[in-house]
Amino acid sequence: MHGRHERYVPTAGGLPNYQRTEVSFMIHRFAAIITALSVVTSSVVPAAENENLKSAIHTIHRVGPEGKGSAEAAPAWKVLARTPIEQLPLLLTGMDEATPLARNWIRAAVDEIVERAERGKKPLPAVALESFLADTSHDPQARRLAFDLLVERDKTVSDRFLPKMVKDPSPELRRDAIGRVLDDAEKLFSAEKKAEARSLFQQAFVVARDKDQIDKAAKRLKDLGQPIDLAKHLGFILDWKLIGPFANIEQKGVETAYAPEKDLDFRVEYDGKEGKVRWKDYVSKDENGIIDLNIGVGEHFEAVGYAATEFTSPAARDVEIRIGCYTVFKLWVNGELALHRADAYTGMQFDHYRTRIRLREGKNTLLMKVCTDVPPPQMPKLWQFQLRVCDADGAAILSTTRP
């Protein structure tokens, strides 16, 4: 018995028969009570721990900017950090619907738990983590974290999961999955297995959402003789009406409501910066949907230009409008201001600016106001933009009138 904690249960040995029967009954009853208590203890304690963990997560969710809620969050974080490794999937669930700030707190607690488990040589709850990873309803960053933890300890996880993730809602997991498809396609391409390579490149082209992967697949498909309409695939709007220039002296033009944003009439002539201006048709031939006002309106400094188009939707629906633009701009949809960006010369990345809007059934009017000032030295005249309509996943949505 030294150094060990054992459950003591008396025996009936050495007693007369009539007493043995009574004692045996008592022994069995005592053993049953002990067993019941063990079951109750094993179920109640984890349940209590779960409630404490959920309460702490709720406190972390209330953390806000400028230190809001930090005083309450500090002890709550300690509760998270003391979470047993077996409850790691429950903690990761706490990242669902959390703010970016709250996710950072939870992520720090996860790191602490994993490091403590490694020091104690305790294994990850791999089965539960794989189940968490497979559930696409969970937060994408939490699922990515679960994936990374699993892969660090079991390289087969990548082989088992990534082939099923080419349409995953997690952008990072989706990118990794498509990266594998592109790598396999490239090997087939190098081996002159063109039919097999074309099939994989086509698969990647359809499901990819990152521009570099889309471009890589498109290039190889062109190399293999397959025509690609990249602008249509991405949903860039190419057909616009342009007008300008209007004055943007000392960058005051962006807040000046010129006539096109008051009354959009393509038949009317307006007073512009350098005389009368009228609407002109402009159709971009650029596969990345660049609408260049330097070409459509003319090269000007300290100027405002407008671009208008119609988008026909078969039904009312929510969509995203994604824009790339070097300079200050405003976007109106059906006369309502949908997006205003006041920063300039930050680059013109694909899908740099996003706004969620609701299209109405039938015709919808989109109006862009794009400003240019005096660009920094050695900078090109960057009076241009690109605009596409897509769903929340980034898949193109086309106007029903688009050929």
- Write out pLDDT tens, residues 175-221: 999 999 999 999 999 999 999 999 999 999 999 999 999 999 999 99
Confidence label for 98 from pLDDT (cuts 50, 70 and 90): very high
Return d(Cα 126, Cα 259) in angstroms, integer. Answer: 63
Return d(Cα 385, Cα 296) in angstroms, integer. Answer: 12
- Write out pLDDT tens, residues 330-373: 999 999 999 998 876 677 889 999 999 999 999 999 999 999 98
The size of the chain, in residues, is 403
What is the residue-averaged pLDDT of the chain?
A: 87
Return d(Cα 366, Cα 368) in angstroms, integer. Answer: 7
C-beta of residue 383 within 8 angstroms of C-beta of residue 327 = yes
The four Cα atoms 67, 69, 70, 74 give a dihedral, to 10 degrees, of -170
- Write out pLDDT tens, residues 35-51: 333 333 333 335 666 78
DSSP one-letter code for 277: E
C-beta of residue 273 within 8 angstroms of C-beta of residue 326 = no
Can you give the pLDDT at residue 63?
A: 87
Can you give the pLDDT at residue 47?
A: 64
Query: For residue 85, is pLDDT > 60?
Result: yes
Query: For residue 118, is pLDDT > 60?
Result: yes
Q: Select the more confidently predicted residue: 30 or 278.
A: 278
C-beta of residue 242 within 8 angstroms of C-beta of residue 293 = yes
Can you give the pLDDT at residue 284?
A: 98
Can you give the pLDDT at residue 347?
A: 73
Q: Select the more confidently predicted residue: 346 or 167.
A: 167
Domains of the chain and any CATH numbers: 50-164 (no CATH), 171-228 (no CATH), 234-390 (2.60.120.260)
Q: Would you say the pTM of this structure is higher than 0.75?
A: yes
Can you give the pLDDT at residue 8?
A: 31
